[in-house]
């Protein structure tokens, strides 16, 4: 575009809260044929709240050890016995471990525990495992809070909680396993809200012939539930993507010959924003994301993605 057209486009953008980092991207944006949205904080508000706490029955190592031979009625008893770590205790231990984490999922768990007036302990040996969860010692007990991958890596069987995990994930919630001393004790779930204009933005992009995709570190079932709510096809969902693999996922999409715009808000998204044909940071995104991006959307509105592309169209038409 001519300097004059670039100036007009930039000004039009700025008036609409769409900041282009230079004339090049103002030209490139119109060629975008695929928009890849991050889920949390981009299509959703990212404001998590704790929605569910479930205790699951566990094989109690101590009980087996001191009980000796099972009693004659032991089988029937174990079918009806309440979980040895109840719901409040599952939440209390999970929240105590998550105290060390700044992840929005963690903060919602801690807030939920505080709302229930639970007495949290200070975690020891806290360890954050990015894309997986946290590990900590709480009152001498080894506590894990995170996804299936986390427990798998620690050799803890998550099967006793499988049904609860699936149920919560189908509701679009992020369900997390809580393991205590090497056995799963329960599940906690956080949910956030899909942004009001997310579905309209997806519809407007598709109307234009742009393919819309979703990429997230969250699991497949939760990702698909959110995708369905905003109108993204299930086959366009890339779930369970580790933070360090998001850029590779965008590169793989572009290797199909697509001109992709990646839209994201988090530190996690920065490398993907950088490799995308157009990287777009949305809303109150982190500085790291904004720095890596070509376009910054000042508002938290997914519809501004469409606006950015249209401004690029308009700018280029002016030079014809």
Identify what 265 binds: ligand ADP, Mg ion, none; CB under 5 to 8 Å per kind: Mg ion
Check binding of 105 to ligand ADP (CB under 6 A). Answer: yes
Closest to ligand ADP by CB, 30 or 39: 39
**C-beta separation of 161 from 180 below 8 A:** no
Query: Is 176 an interacting residue with respect to ligand ADP (CB under 6 A)?
Result: yes
3-state secondary structure (DSSP) of residue 131: coil
Position 243 contacts ligand ADP (CB under 6 A): yes
Least distance between Mg ion and beta carbon 305 (Å): 15
Can you say whether the dihedral through the CA atoms of 111, 116, 119, 123 is positive or negative? negative
Q: How far is the CB of 307 from ligand ADP (least distance, A)?
A: 25
Q: How far is the CB of 257 from ligand ADP (least distance, A)?
A: 26
Q: Which residue is nearest to Mg ion (CB)?
A: 41
Phi, psi at 314, each rounded to 5°: -60, -40
Between CA 297 and CA 5 the distance in angstroms is: 20
Stretch that binds ligand ADP, among 58-66, 130-138, 198-206, 272-280 (CB under 6 A): 130-138
Q: Phi and psi dihedrals of 71, rounded to 5?
A: -65, 165
Token pair listed for 140: 């001498």
Out of 112, 186, 217, 283, point to the residue binding ligand ADP (CB under 6 A). 217
82-107 burial by CB neighbour count: b if 16+ within 10 A, else e? ebbbeeebbbbbbbbbbbbbebbbbb
Which residue in 10, 158, 216, 312 binds ligand ADP (CB under 6 A)? 216
Positions that interact with Mg ion (CB under 5 A):
38, 40-41, 265-266
> By CB neighbour count within 10 A (0-12 exposed, 13-18 middle, 19+ buried), where does 256 fall?
exposed
Nearer to ligand ADP, 29 or 145 (CB): 145
Question: Which residues are tagged catalytic?
Answer: 38
The only residue of 13, 112, 123, 146 in contact with ligand ADP, by rule CB under 6 A: 146
Residues in CB range of 205: below 8 A, 6 or more apart: 35, 212, 305, 306, 309
Q: Give the residues lining the site for ligand ADP (CB under 6 A).
A: 39-40, 98, 101, 103, 105-106, 131-134, 145-147, 174, 176, 216-218, 243, 266, 268
């Amino acid at each position: 575009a001519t300097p004059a057209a670039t100036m007009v486009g930039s000004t039009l953008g700025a008036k609409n809260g769409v900041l282009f980092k230079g004339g090049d991207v103002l030209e490139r944006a119109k060629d975008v044929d695929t928009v890849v949205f991050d889920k949390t904080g981009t299509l959703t508000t990212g404001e998590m709240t704790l929605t569910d706490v479930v205790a699951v029955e566990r094989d109690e190592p101590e009980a087996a050890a001191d009980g000796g031979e099972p009693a004659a009625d032991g089988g029937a008893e174990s079918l009806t016995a309440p979980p040895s770590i109840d719901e409040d205790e599952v939440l209390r231990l999970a929240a105590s471990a998550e105290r060390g984490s700044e992840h929005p999922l963690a903060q919602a768990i801690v807030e939920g525990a505080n709302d229930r007036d639970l007495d949290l302990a200070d975690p020891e040996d806290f360890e954050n495992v990015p894309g997986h969860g946290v590990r900590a010692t709480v009152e001498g007990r080894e506590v894990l809070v995170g996804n299936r991958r986390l427990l798998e890596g620690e050799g803890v069987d998550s099967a006793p909680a499988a049904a609860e995990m699936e149920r919560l994930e189908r509701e679009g919630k992020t369900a997390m396993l809580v393991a205590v001393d090497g056995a799963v004790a329960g599940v906690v779930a956080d949910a956030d809200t899909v942004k009001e204009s997310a579905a309209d933005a997806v519809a407007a992009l598709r109307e234009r012939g742009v393919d819309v995709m979703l990429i997230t570190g969250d699991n497949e079932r939760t990702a698909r539930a959110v995708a369905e709510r905003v109108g993204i096809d299930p086959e366009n969902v890339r779930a369970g993507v580790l933070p360090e693999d998001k850029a590779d996922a965008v590169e793989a999409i572009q290797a199909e010959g697509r001109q992709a715009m990646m839209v994201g808000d988090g530190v996690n998204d920065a490398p993907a924003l950088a490799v995308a044909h157009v990287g777009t940071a949305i809303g109150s995104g982190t500085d790291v994301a904004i720095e890596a991006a070509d376009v910054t959307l000042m508002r938290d509105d997914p519809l501004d993605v469409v606006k950015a592309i249209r401004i690029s169209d308009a700018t280029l038409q002016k030079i014809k």
